[in-house]
Amino acid sequence: MKRSKSSNAWLREHVNDHYVQQAQKDNYRARAAYKLLEIDEKDKLFKQGAWVADLGAAPGSWSQVAKQKVGEAGRVFALDMLPMDPIRGVEFIQGDFREDAVLAQFTKLLDGRLVDLAICDIAPNITGMAVTDQARSFYLCELALDFCRDYLKPGGNFLVKTFQGSGYTEYMQQMRDTFQTVLSRKPAASRDRSTEIYLLGKGKKP
């Protein structure tokens, strides 16, 4: 099948991308690892021994970073509807975290404890229709925030990818209702043309 001009341009950009090349050298599964690393360098997300939930984890680059940061004493739980190749020390549940059966598996692994940090780099399947894609993205963000209300400990932190545009202001308010402090971050590895912005909720309210 012949590629379109736009897909050829994307492929050239991807192959020549500094972060793509660096990810290959560092054995990260995706360039997104560097977004998380940069935010962690600034905001000190991870602590040795912490318990972390990675929502929408596949292909696994954020889980790779999380496990490196929390060490052997920490635990990383990765959840995604898509399959994900195993990562040493990461406990993966394949399924939709909206479903009771998936949450029951997760609850069993927690054994009465709540997580210290939730991270979410999830994005919907893109339709190409901006209004639809924006609405679906914030729906997933809202689900992730609901997850935090149930499974993130008081005082815990939450990092989530959002997109500027319709729904952003309302979601920011939901974050402020849930966390003591809400910060926005645009890491260098995030492409300039992208409207993505990461929100960090610090100190979940009791």
CA–CA separation, 168 and 135 (whole Å): 10
Residue 55 in 3-state DSSP? strand
CA–CA separation, 27 and 19 (whole Å): 12
153 in catalytic set:
no
Cα-Cα-Cα-Cα torsion 119, 125, 59, 102, nearest 10 degrees, comes to: 60
Question: Which residues touch 160 (CB under 8 Å, ≥6 apart)?
Answer: 119, 120, 141, 144, 145, 198, 199, 201
Binding site, annotated residues for S-adenosyl-L-methionine: 60, 62, 80, 96, 121
Binding site, annotated residues: 60, 62, 80, 96, 121
Q: Describe the crossing of helices 32-43 and 61-70 by its angle, rounded to 10 degrees.
A: 30
- Token couple for 11: 């492929």
CA–CA separation, 48 and 183 (whole Å): 23
CA–CA separation, 19 and 5 (whole Å): 23
Instruction: Tell me if 181 sits within 8 A of 155, measured CB to CB.
Output: no
The single residue of 67, 161, 202, 204 carrying the catalytic annotation is 161
Active site residues: 161
